[in-house]
Amino acid sequence: KKKMILDLDTGVDDTLAICYALGSPEVDLIGITGTYGNVLVQQGVRNALAILDLLGHPEVPVFAGLSHASFTEEEFEVLPVSAFIHGDNGIGDVEIEDSERSVEETPAVDFIIESVKKYGKDLIYVPTGPQTNLAAAIKKAPEIVDEIGAVVLMGGALTVPGNVNAWTEANISQDPDAANFVFRSGIPATMVGLDVTLQTLLTYKDTAVWREKDTYAAGKIADITDYYIKAYETTAPTLHGCGLHDPLAVAVAIDPTLVECLDINMKVDVDGPTRGRTIGDTDRLNDPVKTMKVAVKVDVPRFLDEFMTRIGNL
Ligand code: BDR
Ligand code: CA
């Protein structure tokens, strides 16, 4: 069985990514590492612990990661737009009981490295926030690039505009330098970006199905998700639903046939006016070895079906 680590800035769709992983019998979720983005890292790990308890999985350990981007010493501050989309607490301002557990003592970066050493090619690492923790892990133990099974990341946009501005997507925009370092490190990575995640939309009709289960946990997950759907009505009224960004990355990690990919060497613009743009790397255009895949097409009905089934498994 494949082992999975989720690296989350636990907001709403990160929560749905946890649900997808726990509802998937094909993988063992061996840990969650926390990052910043939708919320501060401390709030993200608090949410992850609470969600794991809510879903009856207190055995999954949670590790705290780095608290701010690699290019600055300044403390990270949550952007107003993130708070609007995910709520001040990251989980749609829904109240759920805090876990009695606390975060593990091992730092996230060390847990990532140790897990690669232990599981090698059987390990899939799925970051759905900024790439800060992964970049730090590669800097500390560069050999993991060749040892890890796969990285399937949510972030970036190649064929569509960004969601922060025309050229950058939220996760990449938080730490373009870290993402660029990861993209150019040679680590085998699949980018699941806005190209595909904005095609996979969830509506109130779907959360109503969860409510019908009439369990405490299903009700809470529906409340959290409804907050997010409502925010999308304001920020992206033409979409008619909310983007299932982070759960799609988990789904692709489990079943790569859900998407069609371009084999391409990628970089992130780190200088100049389009800082944060994910784009093909001209320096490696003619390199026959392509280390990245960018998802450009997704089987929407099949993914939505899998998504609803797996949430239903919980
Ligand atoms: C990504 O940004 C975050 O707000 C979401 O959780 C998702 O990971 C979408 O651009
Ligand atoms: Ca996220």
> Can you tell me the distance from the alpha carbon of 115 to that of 125, in angstroms, rounded to the nearest whole number?
10
Cα→Cα distances 297→13, 135, 158, 279, 294, Å: 20, 27, 12, 17, 9
Task: Check residue 181 and give its pLDDT.
Answer: 98
Cα→Cα distances 188→62, 191, 235, Å: 24, 10, 33
For the CA of 171, the closest atom of ligand 1 is: 2
Rg of the chain, C-alpha, whole Å: 18
> Can you tell me the distance from the alpha carbon of 16 to that of 40, in angstroms, rounded to the nearest whole number?
18
Query: What tokens appear for 290 in the block?
Result: 């392509």
User: Residue of the nearest CA to atom 10 in ligand 1?
Assistant: 170
For the CA of 197, the closest atom of ligand 1 is: 9
Nearest CA-CA partner of 301 in 232, 203, 230, 201 = 201
Q: How far is the CA of 171 from the centre of ligand 1 (A)?
A: 6
Looking at the CA of 164, which ligand is closest? 1
Task: Check residue 283 and give its pLDDT.
Answer: 96
Residues having CB within 6 Å of any atom of ligand 1: 11, 13-14, 38, 128, 154, 163, 169-171, 245-246
Catalytic residue ranges: 9, 245
3-state secondary structure of 274: coil
Burial degree of 305 (CB within 10 A; 0-12, 13-18, 19+): exposed
User: Residue of the nearest CA to atom 8 in ligand 1?
Assistant: 128
- Residues 6+ positions from 118 with CB-CB distance below 8 Å: none
For the CA of 85, the closest atom of ligand 1 is: 4
Task: Check residue 164 and give its pLDDT.
Answer: 96
> Can you tell me the distance from the alpha carbon of 143 to that of 146, in angstroms, rounded to the nearest whole number?
6
Question: In which residue are the tokens 């870290």 written?
Answer: 178
Burial degree of 301 (CB within 10 A; 0-12, 13-18, 19+): exposed
Looking at the CA of 168, which ligand is closest? 1
- Go through 231-264 and write b for each residue having 16 or more CB atoms within 10 A of its CB, e for each that does not: bbeeebeeeebbbbbbbbbbbbbbeeebbebbeb
Q: For a pocket test of ligand 1, which of 245, 248, 277, 278 has the largest count of ligand atoms closer than 8 A to its C-beta?
A: 245
For the CA of 243, the closest atom of ligand 1 is: 9
The ipTM, to two decimals, is 0.98
Alpha carbon 91 to chain centroid, angstroms? 15
- Tens-binned pLDDT, residue by residue, of the chain (314 aa): 999 999 999 999 999 999 999 999 999 999 999 999 999 999 999 999 999 999 999 999 999 999 999 999 999 999 999 999 999 999 999 999 999 999 999 999 999 999 999 999 999 999 999 999 999 999 999 999 999 999 999 999 999 999 999 999 999 999 999 999 999 999 999 999 999 999 999 999 999 999 999 999 999 999 999 999 999 999 999 999 999 999 999 999 999 999 999 999 999 999 999 999 999 999 999 999 999 999 999 999 999 999 999 998 88
Q: How far is the CA of 86 from the centre of ligand 1 (A)?
A: 9
Q: Are the C-beta atoms of 196 and 259 separated by less than 8 Å?
A: yes
Q: How far is the CA of 208 from the centre of ligand 1 (A)?
A: 23
Looking at the CA of 154, which ligand is closest? 1
Q: Are the C-beta atoms of 158 and 191 separated by less than 8 Å?
A: yes
What is the amino acid identity at position 261?
Answer: C
Q: How far is the CA of 289 from the centre of ligand 1 (A)?
A: 29
> Can you tell me the distance from the alpha carbon of 295 to that of 245, in angstroms, rounded to the nearest whole number?
12
Task: Check residue 313 and give its pLDDT.
Answer: 87
Q: How far is the CA of 215 from the centre of ligand 1 (A)?
A: 27
Nearest CA-CA partner of 108 in 136, 86, 129, 88 = 136
Task: Check residue 220 and give its pLDDT.
Answer: 98
Task: Check residue 197 and give its pLDDT.
Answer: 98
